[in-house]
Structure 1
Amino acid sequence: MQTLSFKNFNIIPINANDAWPLCNFMSANEDRLKRYFPKTLQENLTPSLAKSFTDKKVKQFQLKEEFLFTIKEKQSNDVAGLIYIKDLNWTTKQAEFAYCISYQFESKGITTKSVALLSDYAFETLGLKTLQIIVHKDNLASVAVAMNNSFTWIKTLKNEHTPPNESPLDMELYELYYEME
């Protein structure tokens, strides 16, 4: 896959050289990530953990089991965010987006634009037919990403996500369907 670009950012498949930048991203954004990305956070708290994580994610990408992309600032090449295309079902041609953005890049439309570009990639290149975003109703920025990309609210998923040391949370399911033009 070639790099997708917009404004001052590149969307790039995870690669082995991302371990240090990913560890730095996780450390700088630990408070933001601990509720909705606890596993990714735990797997990237040290450079050696991040190396194992990136190696695993590169392999999953190559095997088309899961696709993890970094959003990098062009000038610094720092990781500004992550976007997963995960929970792939190749039979039904369905997958879910999960995304996070660094605190210094929030509210700039970067995640919205990245999801738009990767939705096209998922439909046109991967051949998927349904994309999902699952968010908590109070995560207004994430709800906005779904709405700004024409995802439709489908239903509330009861007890869908259990953050560390919290009770299970109901989450909202949004979907976007491939429409041939």
Structure 2
Amino acid sequence: MRFKLDTCYIDPIQTGDAVNIFNFAISNAQRLKRYFPVTLKENRTLELSKIFVIRKVKEFQSKEEFLYTLKENGTSRLIGLLYLKSLDWIKKHGELAYCIDQPFEGKGITTNAVKCISEHAFNELGLKTIKIIVHISNLASIIVAKKCNFTWIKTLKNEHTPPGERALDMELYELYNALEQ
């Protein structure tokens, strides 16, 4: 399955994505280190990226976690990642996390990708609730959540601890499947 957007497309993680993910992680290390430290750590070398991709493909196939790549039309350059994670198939909840390469920020790409994956999660995967957890200082991510009709629910105390920092309070946004209301 491929989701086509205006300037890019979304694909499920594939075994051939290791080089692209490695390059993305290295070139976006500063952007990833605070909120995606595990992704960054697991992609420090090309060999680690190969292991990462193999594991993520298996997790995708077993519906444990879904990692999608966001690639530029024409060049197929990887410009972002979208994770549908922390899945609870009984309650039908999941969390959506995303990151984009800095040159592509502020162009509406992330908003369109989040809308697309949210619709897919509701319509194809059967989820009822999608969460976005974001730090209050990450204004770009908050704007994406709001533009995608996510509702602020509450502040989660000490929810995320970046490497070398104290635990941070994070903001919880949720989107509900309109068909389930």
Q: Deviation at 1:74?
A: 1.4
Root-mean-square deviation (Å): 0.8
- Give the fraction of aligned pairs with identical amino acids, expressed as a percent: 55
* Off by >3 Å, runs of 4+ in structure 1: none
TM-score by length of structure 1 reads 0.98
Counterpart position of 2:128 = 129
- CA–CA distance in 1 between the matches of 2:88 and 2:170? 20
Distance 2:83 2:120 in 1: 13
With normalisation by structure 2, the TM-score equals 0.98
Deviation at 1:4, TM superposition (A): 0.2
Query: Within 5 Å, which residues of 2 pair with 1:32-47?
Result: 32-47=31-46
Is there any run of 5+ residues in structure 1 with no aligned partner, and where? Answer: none
Q: CA deviation at 1:80?
A: 0.4
Q: Which amino acid is the alignment partner of residue 5 of structure 2?
A: F
**Shift, 1:104, TM fit:** 1.0
The aligned residue for residue 75 of structure 2 is 76
Partner of 1:144: 143
Deviations 1:29-76 (A, max 9, x none): 000100000000010111100000000000000000000000000111
Equivalent pairs counted in the alignment come to 180
Q: Does 1:120 align with 2:128?
A: no
1:137-176 equivalences under 5 Å are 137-176=136-175
Partner of 1:20: 19
Which residue number in structure 2 is paired with residue 53 of structure 1? 52
Unaligned runs of 5+ in 2: none
